[in-house]
Amino acid sequence: MSRHLCAALALLTLAVSMLPGCAAPLNRPAPDRRLYNITAQRPDTAAPAGDKSVLKVRPLQISPAYQGKEMVYRLGDVEYETDYYNTFFVQPALNLTSQCAAWLGRAGVFATVVDSSSQLQENYLLEGMVNALYGDYRDRNAPKAVLEAQFFLLRNKGGDYAVAFTRTYRKEVPFAAGAKDPAPLAEAYNQALAQMLTELE
């Protein structure tokens, strides 16, 4: 047997012996994906307004950076990352629209609150833009949930709409430091949304 053939057989034997070690990581189960939902429950239901006012809530818009289901973490001034294994159960803009309409429906400011699918003629129209929705981990010892949105309340004047109210709300809610666990972040989002909607009503 030639020296070249012996060397080739030796390399082949070594490669085969290493295969089990290389394949081991492939046998590890993938981490489970966990789903979270941002919710805000108004503590009580107020009596509806005595007039016949109708508020229609249009679907909220959201910055492209946060429109996916994956949770977003801010790690530095210009560094962000998304989390494939920890996601929102519903696309954030759709969920926040639903939460907003439900909260305002219980607030009693308007006689009726409907979403954009309703055929009711509205007196007021609510639009909004979510500008920020992320976990801020720039200070690992003091992480916080960041939620920012701008709302526009439009008054319907015979088919012409005039801005009756506009305001930008930004909420930063701290949560327990430690490993990057999305559960405390999700709970902080709930608090941020409740604070925001309390001020909006």
What residue spans define the domains of the chain?
A: 31-200
Question: pLDDT tens across 25-37, in order?
Answer: 556 677 788 999 9
Residue 38 has phi, psi (to 5 degrees) of -85, 125
For 50-54, 61-65, 119-123, 185-189, which range has the lowest pLDDT when averaged over its residues?
Answer: 50-54
Alpha helices, H only, 64-146: 92-107
For 53-57, 94-98, 137-141, 180-184, which range has the lowest pLDDT when averaged over its residues?
Answer: 180-184
In this model, does residue 69 exceed pLDDT 90?
yes
Provide the percentage of residues in the chain whose pLDDT is more than 90.
75
Q: Token digits for 176? A: 């327990």
Q: Tell me which of 3.40.50.10610, 3.10.129.10, 1.20.140.10, 3.40.50.720 is the CATH number of domain 31-200.
A: 3.40.50.10610
The amino acid sitting at 166 is: T
10 Å Cβ neighbour count for 200?
A: 19
Q: Give yes or no for a contact between 146 and 87, defined as CB atoms under 8 angstroms apart.
A: no
Measured in residues, the chain has a length of 201
pLDDT of residue 26: 55
pLDDT of residue 19: 47
23: confidence class by pLDDT, cuts 50, 70, 90: very low
Q: What is the pTM of this model?
A: 0.82
